Amino acid sequence: MRLPWSQQAVFLCLLTLAGTSFAESDKTTTSTACTATSPAGSFFDLRPDIAVKAPADGSKASKNAPTVDYHARGYDYASNFTLNICGAVVEPIDNVRGVDKGAWQNISAYYVSKGDVYSLGSQSSVLTPRGRKLVLQYKGGSPCGPVSEKRDATLVEKSNVHTGASYKPYYGDEDENASATKSEDINTAEETSSHRRKSATISFLCNQDPIASGAAISFVGTDPDECAYFFEVRSPNACAGVEPHKPGSVGPGSVFVIIFIIAVLVYLGGGIFYQRAVANARGWRQLPNYSLWAGIWSFVSDVFVMTTSSCARFLPSRRGYRYISGSSSATRRSRDREAENRLIDQLDEEWDD
């Protein structure tokens, strides 16, 4: 059975809105740099903590962003550290050990030791939520130093001697082979360590101190090979918040409007189909609950008529003149009384005659 054109139009609108809603829901949103959303729905935005270069005209940076790098004391490490959050350091650096000159401008953390600059990694803006903490990692710094010879020698000795052996006899050629094997293992370890590069791992903690004006970085420690460095940052911007609405994405209000429109169209489409196919209604009576909507319209029209008629009473009358004050009515009453008295006197005189 072919549907009438009115029903076809209704179903076409339904399909269009459904396709629009699915298309909006399938939009992939790319995360903004230096922001993160935890699996629990908490939103973190560290963009205000990014240090930027001060404008050349001497004006303040946009949104009161810091214009100097962050510094952390190394204490027992005997070197201090310079870092930036989600960006390269502001102050230019040169002569970085083991890093190409073209990559110097992308360094986000470094330290100076005996006049040499060592990079702790290039800039990155990818935040990783881990519970209530945020983690930012810089990689690709200066090459790490060779593995400790004492530690490497211990590993080689353990690999050559059986665990249950109480002594090792001397066999001349075997000792030479063992020493050669040991030296080869040490060289292999040094070659392997030359491919390892320094990195920096930064952990962010929420700082709810109202006096705190910005982020504060402290050095936590490094591994025995001085290849991985760990820092801790306390910042008010590391506290969980609500993710703002992104332009172009569907917000809660838009979803509610779409659902409401679809519900209304389904109600009208289903009602019209039932009234036309089952009840054989035609014209306006095809609308679902026609008597209810017609009664509402008549009620609204009656209320409008009553309101306009009530307001018409306050309009000025156009039928002749009206007395303004109460003294005019008193004067008219006195005149009527005088006319009555004259009439009575005239009747008395006629009776006397």
| Structure confidence by residue, pLDDT tens digits, 246-282 | 555 566 777 888 999 999 899 888 888 888 888 888 8
Residue appearing with tokens 């009439």: 343
Number of H helices, E strands in the chain: 6, 11
Q: Is 289 left (phi over 0), alpha (psi -120 to 50) or beta?
A: left
Give me the CATH code for the 35-141+197-238 domain, please.
2.70.130.10
pLDDT on residue 327: 53
**Orientation angle between helical segments 5-25 and 252-277, nearest 10 degrees:** 160
Strand ranges inside 207-342, DSSP E: 216-222, 228-235
Query: pLDDT at position 291, please?
Result: 81
pLDDT (0 to 100) of residue 335: 74
The pLDDT tens digits for 84-96 are 999 999 999 988 9
CA distance 238 to 38: 12
- Give the long-range contacts of residues 12-20, CB within 8 A, separation 24 or more: 13/265, 14/262, 14/265, 14/266, 14/269, 17/258, 17/261, 17/262, 17/265, 18/262, 20/258
| pTM of full prediction above 0.85 | no
pLDDT at 220: 95
Looking at residue 203, what is its pLDDT?
Answer: 95
Token pair for residue 297? 């319209």
Pairing of strands 228-235, 199-206: parallel
Q: Shortest CA distance to 112 belongs to which of 85, 77, 143, 79?
A: 79
Query: What local confidence, expressed as pLDDT, does residue 84 receive?
Result: 95
Which residue ranges in the chain fall short of pLDDT 50? 1-11, 18, 20-30, 148-176, 178-193, 321, 323, 325
Distance CA 215, CA 317 (A): 77
Task: Show me where the domains of the chain are located.
Answer: 5-26+251-311, 35-141+197-238, 145-195
Which residues are registered as beta bridge partners of 233?
204, 217
- Strand bridging mode 133-138 / 199-206: antiparallel
Strands 43-45 and 70-72: unpaired
Closest CA to 109 of 236, 214, 229: 229
φ, ψ for residue 33 (rounded to 5)? -60, 140
Residue 258 near residue 20, CB atoms below 8 Å? yes
